[in-house]
Amino acid sequence: MPPLILLVKALHVLSATIFFGAGLMSAFWKFRGDQSGDLRVVHWAQQQVVLADWIFTVPAGFISPATGVYLVFIYGLPWTTPWVLASIGGYLAAMVLWLPAAWIQLELRKLTKQALTEGTPLPPRFHALNRVWLALGVPAFGVSVFIIYAMVAKPALW
């Protein structure tokens, strides 16, 4: 196997792992911050979740499909291959869920900073957005698990 293909394949696996892992760790640290009850910790956790998205999730979200397209092309796989279609569909579903969740994270960070600056409790909007963030994040996580399964197992889905 040529070195370029191995490099692209490694980047593809690494970016998929980072995308999955960054989402999981962001959720973990966000929940830990929220559970602390300390507004300073909640705000710090929100800042770190947003930062982690920019450092890890966004680059992985671009690298993964780019390397995937290259691999499909270089291996001569038909775009109609069930696991390829399922992976692409899963990626698109993850993006549809993740993009509004990322916007919500920015809003949550703004709300925690405002409450911290003004010395007030978190507003009801924070808690409402938190619930929406969770409602988007759980299926996005499930889709990410499915995508990894589809890429590894390459199941005959139909």
Distance between CA atoms of residues 17 and 23, nearest Å: 10
pTM: 0.88
Q: What pLDDT sits at residue 156?
A: 85
> Is the separation of the CB atoms in 111 and 123 below 8 Å?
yes
Q: What pLDDT sits at residue 46?
A: 97
Distance between CA atoms of residues 39 and 105, nearest Å: 16
Does the residue 105 lie in any domain? yes
Which residues, given as ranges, of the chain have pLDDT below 50? none
Domain limits for position 81 = 3-153
* C-alpha pair distances (Å), 128 with each of 16, 33, 57: 30, 17, 24
Does the residue 63 lie in any domain? yes
Does the residue 142 lie in any domain? yes
Tokens 């925690």 belong to residue: 112
Distance between CA atoms of residues 65 and 72, nearest Å: 10
Does the residue 81 lie in any domain? yes
Does the residue 87 lie in any domain? yes
Distance between CA atoms of residues 86 and 132, nearest Å: 26
String of DSSP letters for 78-135: -TT-HHHHHHHHHHHHHHHHHHHHHHHHHHHHHHHHHHHHHT-PPPHHHHHHHHHHHH
Sequence-distant (≥ 6) Cβ neighbours of residue 59 within 8 angstroms: 15, 18
Q: Pseudo-torsion of CA 3, 9, 12, 18, nearest 10°?
A: -80
Smallest CA-to-CA distance from 28 within 52, 7, 3 is with 52
Does the residue 91 lie in any domain? yes
Does the residue 158 lie in any domain? no
Q: Count of domains in the chain? A: 1
Distance between CA atoms of residues 133 and 47, nearest Å: 15
